[in-house]
Chain A
């Protein structure tokens, strides 16, 4: 008990987050194991191997880069939660950024840490509840949500989200934003391999480029 009292908030987040995340990892890995026992079946190991070979190296590499890139933006508590609940770039991170911007707190301060964690936790709870509702009501919802009339709206969720979020951050940092935005525009327009499926890989590229560019501007006193 005394130890707990001495632990800072951030340290206790690290301790609790580690326990939660490792426990969730074990539970998730036990899911296919449980299915094997319940249905008395074994996986096709050759199929698993080939499937992993096609998927895992890229996902693991992207996963490592994403983790390093997103932790400074999400904060500590937000990172533990986001990497369990998923949907980071399309939901949790924009939600945390918007919350910190509205609350006028710095990401590295403890206030920023608290606001980001609250936003991500609420977003995770709401997402989980909406998915549960979607699963329960899948029969009546299916014709509505799969309707070709509504489909274009959900196809354009990311442009609508990043238009609204982007204008706030870009307008406040025009000098810093100009070069990375132009670079990404040119890359996405003229490199055919870059599309919706590869945008996740381009986030770390954009981040590294912007960091180098920011350092140059800073060193030359241009910003």
Chain B
């Protein structure tokens, strides 16, 4: 069969794998809801969780579609569709694909309109094998970790609560730090232009955009909290995070045109 990066047979295989992933999600959802009913949990809580998780997911999912589109130029549509629907993540896939291409002495751009079956399969193997850790490690470790945490909780509930908060805050602090990673462009630029080690150029003030976006979405979240408290707008609880996030993202458009970005 003659190879093409968008060959219908590749679409069919990927569709089958994606359907299996969808089936796993549905299976776990049904299992959890069934258990909630057995336990007599407040089902409005479950309904609210479903609604708010669905709404929250829309914007990040669209950004994953954008990543599929950008990777599709060199790898076709089905492979990025698979990699970003199963195990993969936005930040990993582009790097894995680029490393796989450079392993064959090329860049991803060299494959645009010029991909043969052997190179495609090689890239697929590198992308698949590299990311394949958590999928088998969770079955190996999760029981031990969960049991450990439960026994912590029994022994010392206060420390257990603190430990959980420390885990969340550790992750959040890394992302808060990351938001500031380009602020150094302000004092490292020459004539208002910052040039990085790859020779890419940015305006000196471009590093302020993510900081301001973060502050705006944080302020919006505080405002939502105040509205919920003072005006008793409890319905806002389900929408506060997606609303603050999407408005923050939208504000990034005028902020970028004001403060600049990549040149």
Contact = CB atoms under 8 A, between A and B. Distances in A.
B252 A176 contact: no
A146 B261 CA distance: 16
Interface in A53-107: 53-56, 59-60, 63-64, 66-73, 76-77, 79-91, 93-95, 97-99, 102-103, 106-107
A73 B89 CA distance: 18
B117 interface: yes
Nearest to A166: B172
B114 interface: no
A189 to B, nearest CB: 5
Given A106-B164, A108-B153, A211-B163, A63 B138 contact: no
Contacts, number: 562
24 contacts: A47-B103, A47-B105, A67-B138, A90-B90, A118-B46, A118-B49, A125-B25, A125-B26, A131-B64, A141-B65, A152-B255, A155-B256, A156-B248, A157-B60, A158-B210, A160-B216, A162-B176, A163-B218, A168-B225, A171-B222, A189-B180, A189-B184, A199-B91, A200-B92
A34 B180 CA distance: 44
Interface in A22-63: 22-25, 27-29, 31-32, 34-36, 38-44, 46-56, 59-60, 63
Contacts of A102: 48-49, 52, 237-238
A167 B173 contact: no
Interface string B1-31: 1110000011001100110111011111101
Contacts of A203: 170-171, 174-175
B13 to A, nearest CB: 6
B56 A83 contact: no
Contacts of A88: 89
Given A73-B171, A99-B49, A55 B95 contact: yes
B68 A76 contact: no
A83 B25 CA distance: 12
Contacts of B175: 89, 158, 162, 166, 199, 203
Nearest to A98: B241
B214 interface: yes
A196 B135 CA distance: 24
Contacts of A91: 57, 60-61, 64
Given A188-B181, A199-B91, 7 more contacts: A28-B128, A40-B117, A99-B49, A108-B149, A119-B53, A154-B249, A199-B175
Contact of B163 (A16, A192, A214): A214
Contact of B248 (A42, A159, A211): A159
B183 interface: yes
B193 interface: no
B218 A154 contact: no
A68 B32 CA distance: 23
A166 B218 contact: yes
Of the four ranges (under 10, 10 to 19, 20 to 34, 35 or more), the interface on chain B belongs to 35 or more
Interface string B44-76: 011011101110111111111110111010000
Contact of B49 (A85, A103, A146): A103
B241 A165 contact: yes
A1 interface: no
Interface in A152-185: 152-171, 173, 176-177, 180-181, 183-185
Contact of A67 (B117, B133, B178): B133
Given A43-B118, A119-B49, A125-B22, A159 B69 contact: no
Contact of B178 (A28, A60, A196): A196
Interface string B208-239: 01110111111011100100000000000110
B263 interface: no
A188 B252 contact: no
* Of A17, A36, A205, most B-chain CB atoms within 10 Å: A17
Report the 6 A-B pairs with minimum CB-CB distance, sorted nearest first. A184-B177, A63-B133, A51-B103, A207-B170, A160-B248, A134-B65
A202 to B, nearest CB: 4
A35 B174 contact: no
